Structure 1
Amino acid sequence: MSQEQNDHMDSFPDKMNIFEKGISEESFNEFYKILGGIGNADEKYKNDLISAYRSSPKSCSEQEVKKALVLLSKKGDVQSYRLIERTYNENQNLSIKNIALVALRNARMYLESELMDEQFGIISTGLGGEGNKLRYYLAFRPRDREDCLPKGDIFSRMESLCSTLKSKVENVEEVKGCYLFKILLPTDLAVGVLAEGFIEKNELLLDSYFCTNVEKPDDAQIESWIEDYG
């Protein structure tokens, strides 16, 4: 990592507002509907919208504020993140606050991607969290179903790793021959650090994993993942 990246990391947001109830599906849908609606808009229109919101947010309509939040969430800089955060903390309009919360999640991922020169998937959370931790479902596949470890053993292995990463494993169950964990991870910990570390420490697992923090995956989602990755 370059010195410039290190300097930026020092100013990286170290605290996020976590709601144990998570984010509603309606908020996700509205966010991505707005994103789809302005995705192909003229760049000048987008830049003017952001500039207007930065300089005079109170003069913007509710819909303009929401569009600006969506656009800001893709900027990949600390200034944009802080503006979204301030909107969430100060704006009393519940509809705008909900969009701001989704935008915060996306903004953090874009910011990490910019600073680390790596492409992270955009993760949205509907599962909520606890304290400064977000809740995720992580699924892993054994190389051979005949070599599956008992749930108690695989839980203990994950619990051991989580203890070193200030994380907490809440549960594990077997779904379609896979291990499905429910885990709480600190907001400043990349999911891949835990997932790839767990695979590295357990040679019986394949090197792909499934991750979501929108909702608990059903059998169909797990089956689709298995089919996609062979």
Structure 2
Amino acid sequence: MKDEDHLKHIQDAINKLPEEFSILEEQIDIELQMAYFDMARKQRNTTPDDTLLAQAKLDLYNPEISLEDKKELLVKLAGLDDVEAFRTIEAFHKQASNEIKSWSVLALQESRMVIQSSLLGEQQVFISTGLGGKGQNIRYFVAMSHNDSDCSFNETQRKLLESEFRFFLNESEGELEEIDFHGNIATAVFLFPLKQNLHTIFKSFIDECNQYGDFLSEDVIITNVKKLALDELQEFINKNRHDREQN
């Protein structure tokens, strides 16, 4: 019941979103995103230097300037309502090294939103997750398990699970990007419309699969933060089953 209430609160918040919103497409570590927005929040309390743009065009490419100072420059540029600032970030992003590439993606997205908000006269909504998205779809990672912990998915069950999953996603304007089977665990990465009720769709999908042998557990792990490793999944599944048996 607690989990269902939590899901309901999330869905209520999603339903209140405006019709137009932007989703970060790239897959960027959540901790890095938090560090970016924390720096952005602090920088918004400072007055931009009139020489910032000229300084940034030189310092962003200067090997003597530290990585942290370059990150700060990108954050400051992203907060400017200035097309030239956007172009400066864009140019740097195209040749940025891996150690600052994701940071420049966030700065570029924020700069775009600042300029759009100014031009349209209304605040733009930007949604970011660890796994990113596409269009107005969020990317999710899901892990499903066999009802019998000692039994692997057989070939028939694998084909059924994949075909039914594709069908339910297509019906909801979602998209299956990848699916893998690891013994008694199935993992998948998929895109799904933010405003659709994912909980309801998954329940229907599991019910449909279980008409053919009741082989799929109703307990699933869904996240938009990151892909989980098999050992993490197995530990979570074992703990969940142990807790249920104790109750």
Counterpart code for 2:178: N
Paired position in structure 2 for 1:148:
153
Cα-Cα RMSD? 3.7
| Structure 2 counterpart of 1:170, from 172, 177, 182 | 177
TM-score by length of 2: 0.51
1:127 paired residue among 127, 131, 148: 131
| Residue of 18, 21, 31 corresponding to 1:16 | 21
Letter of the structure 1 residue corresponding to residue 145 of structure 2: R
Over 3 Å counting, the alpha-carbon distance change for 1:18 and 1:90 in structure 2 is farther
Match of 1:97 among 96, 110, 130: 110
Identity %: 18
Match of 2:43 in 1: 62
Report if the CA contact (8 A) 1:172-1:180 is conserved. yes
User: Offset at 1:177?
Assistant: 1.6
Q: Which residue of 1 aligns with 2:200?
A: 193
Contact 1:172 1:181 in 2 (8 A): yes
Aligned equivalent of 1:209, options 195, 201, 220 = 220
The runs of 4+ residues in structure 1 deviating greater than 3 Å are 8-12, 23-29, 87-93, 95-98
**Cα deviation, residue 209, structure 1:** 0.5
CA contact (8 A) 1:176 1:222 kept: no
The residue number in structure 1 matching 2:63 is: none
For the pair shown, which has the larger CA radius of gyration, 1 or 2? 2
Partner deviation per Cα, 1:54-95 (whole Å, 9 max, x = no partner): xxxxxx852659xxxxxxxxxxxxxxxxxxxxx999696929
Q: What is the CA deviation profile of residues 23-52 of structure 1, one whole-angstrom value per residue up to 9, with x for unaligned ones?
A: 3444344279x6xxxxxxxxxxxxxxxxxx
Partner AA of 1:214 in structure 2: V
The answer to whether the 8 A contact 1:176-1:219 is kept is no
Structure-2 change in CA distance of 1:153 and 1:182 (3 Å): same
- Paired positions, count: 155
- AA matched with 1:215: K
Structure 1 residues 14, 22: CA separation in 2 closer, same or farther (over 3 Å shift)? farther
Would you say the 8 A contact 1:126–1:215 is kept in 2? yes
Residue 160 of structure 1 aligns with which residue?
Answer: 167
Within the candidate set 189, 205, 221, 1:182 is matched to 189
Q: Is contact 1:62–1:96 with CA below 8 Å preserved after alignment?
A: no
Tell me the TM-score normalised to structure 1 length: 0.54
Q: State the secondary structure of the residue aligned to 1:170.
A: strand
Equivalent residue for 1:218?
Answer: 229
